[in-house]
Structure 1
Amino acid sequence: MEDVQGRADYRRIDINKVGIKDIRHPVRVRDRTGYEQHTVATFNMYVNLPQHFKGTHMSRFVSILSSHDREITVESFHEMLAEMTERLEAGSGHIEMTFPYFINKRAPISGVQSLMDYEVTFIGEMHPDRHETWVRVAVPLTSLCPCSKQIAERGAHNQRSLVIITALMNGFVWLEELIEIAEEEGSCDLYGLLKRPDEKYVTERAYDNPKFVEDVVRDIAARLNEDDRISAYQVTSENYESIHNHSAFALIEQDKRGYDSPFPCV
């Protein structure tokens, strides 16, 4: 049968990314405790398409995903990126693997344990001149407004915040380490289960540690700047305001290598 995708195209327009989105597959990730978490990831898989090709072979993406272990690991993720770029005869490839990651946290006073889930994404990019793997963690926090605390006679308004750190590493960094950096720089971190003494603690901790959205991203950036294992990063914070009909947002990008390379999209 004729390979329609392989026909010539005469519009002379390159396509930056073409492929498949939102396909789910089991994955296996080792955590800092030494155990392996078995979870399900959502994959986005793309390659570039030169102007002289009409289309790419969409079925090959699924075939590559299915040909690996039943549960994909971080190691096979890297192998899959190289295989995808080669099999689709592309100059560049891009894979995103997003999955829930769980950490068992103890409440600050009572010590009761509960699971917190975080959204983690591995982003692999292969180009003729470089091969990069970025790690993204999305961490929910509490933030308390310094201005509200300053002007109010009773209390201060706080809100749920979402911090996203996207980092390019040149050394090994546990996911837990990135998550802890974000949590430690909010007004207070979140817990799955709290007793009354814990609720008192987290409420008062947030009140004693007010931060604007700008403070959060700057404090996290300062931590990442000091870590030689991190070559480049993007950090964002969004406050889902409790007294406004809008969110507050801040972003910092830094490439410590001195390159002017693109960052993964927000």
Structure 2
Amino acid sequence: MEDVQNYSPAVPLNIDRAGIRELKLPLLVRDRSDGTQRTVALVDLGVDLPSAFKGAHMSRFVEALNAWDDEINYQSVRRLLENIKNRLGAQRAYARFCFPYFIRKTAPASCSKSSVPYECRLTGELDENGQSFLLEMDVPVMTVCPCSRAISRDSAHSQRAIVRMNVRMAGFSWLEEFIEMAEESGSSAVYTLLKREDEKFVTEHAFAHPAFVEDVVRNVAQRLFAHEHVEWFSVEVESMESIHSHNAFARIERSVNRAAAGQQHGESP
């Protein structure tokens, strides 16, 4: 049959990335407590397309993904990317998995258990220079405003904030490690199920640990600097302000120099 994709295009320009987006796929993810957990991912796949070709063979992305069916990790994603490169004759291949990851959390006072979802994204790219691996996640926390806490006699405004982390790593790390970093950096973690005694505990704990978004982003960055596998990170904290009509945010991005990180956490060399 006629292969139109291999025709010469009317406009002969190289395309950086062409492919498919938001293909839904069952996914197996490593779980620190239970070994693995099953979730559902939206998957983007792409390749570079030279100027000599009119289009990419989109069905071959789906074939590669159907043949993969693996637990997601550095080695398995590399196998998928190599398969995509070979099937499409590409120099560069790209895969991105967006999925909810669930942690079963225990309420601090009643010990009630419930699952909390965290939005995660994992991106792999493979070219002649090797493979890159980027982990992204959104972690909700609670913050209490230190200014409001200082000037108010009996109260202060509080709100939910989102810690958004992007991390490049040199080795395997549990998703839970980074989630815990974020939750320990705010005024309090958030929960799905809280009884009255839990609400009392969480509120009192949060008011005893007020934090600006600037405090939270610095706290997370300090922990990422200290992590043995982190090579580069960006972290942004956005506060959904409860008494303002706008949000507040703060962001830090750094490459981690292991020799310098032991001496100084504030700035990269």
- Taking structure 2 as the reference length, the TM-score comes to 0.90
Distance in 2 between residues matched to 1:23 and 1:219, nearest whole Å: 36
Q: How does 1:1-266 map to 2 (within 5 A)?
A: 1-69=1-69, 72-74=71-73, 75-256=75-256
- Post-superposition Cα deviations, 1:6-47, rounded to whole Å, max 9, x if no partner, equal 111253422222111111011112211243211111101111
Change (3 A) 1:72 1:32: closer
Cα distance in 2 for residues equivalent to 1:53 and 1:247: 46
Quote the Cα distance in structure 2 between the aligned partners of 1:72 and 1:172.
14
Q: Which runs of 5+ in 1 are unaligned?
A: 259-266
Where does the alignment leave 5 or more consecutive residues of structure 2 unmatched? Answer: 259-269
- Opposite residue 92 of structure 2, the aligned amino acid is S
The alpha-carbon deviation at position 104 of structure 1 amounts to: 1.2
Equivalent residue letter for 2:66: S
CA distance in 2, matches of 1:94, 1:202: 42
Q: Distance in 1 between matches of 2:59 and 2:3?
A: 13
Question: Structure 2 CA distance, aligned partners of 1:48 and 1:144?
Answer: 47
Choose 28-37 or 158-167, whichever is displaced more: 28-37
* Partner secondary structure for residue 168 of structure 1: strand
Work out the CA distance in 2 between the residues paired with 1:122 and 1:243.
35
C-alpha displacement of 1:227: 1.4
Root-mean-square deviation (CA, aligned residues, Å) is 1.7
State the 1:183 CA deviation: 0.5
Instruction: Name the TM-score, length of structure 1 as normaliser.
Output: 0.91
Seq. identity, %:
43
Distance 1:52 1:214 in 2: 49
SS at match of 2:239: strand
Partner in structure 1 of residue 261 of structure 2: none
Aligned residues: 257
Give every structure 1 segment of 4 or more consecutive aligned residues whose post-TM-superposition deviation is greater than 4 Å. none
CA contact (8 A) 1:144 1:211 kept: yes
Distance 2:176 2:185 in 1: 14
Tell me how far 1:101 sits from its aligned partner. 1.1
Question: In the alignment, residue 207 of structure 1 is paired with which amino acid?
Answer: F
SS in 2 for 1:222: helix
The verdict on how the C-alpha distance between 1:57 and 1:81 changes in structure 2, with shifts beyond 3 A counting, is same
Q: Distance in 2 between matches of 1:17 and 1:245?
A: 38
Distance 1:208 1:123 in 2: 38
Indicate if the aligned counterparts of 1:26 and 1:72 stay in contact, CA closer than 8 A.
no
SS at match of 1:182: helix
Output the CA distance in 2 between the equivalents of 1:12 and 1:145: 55
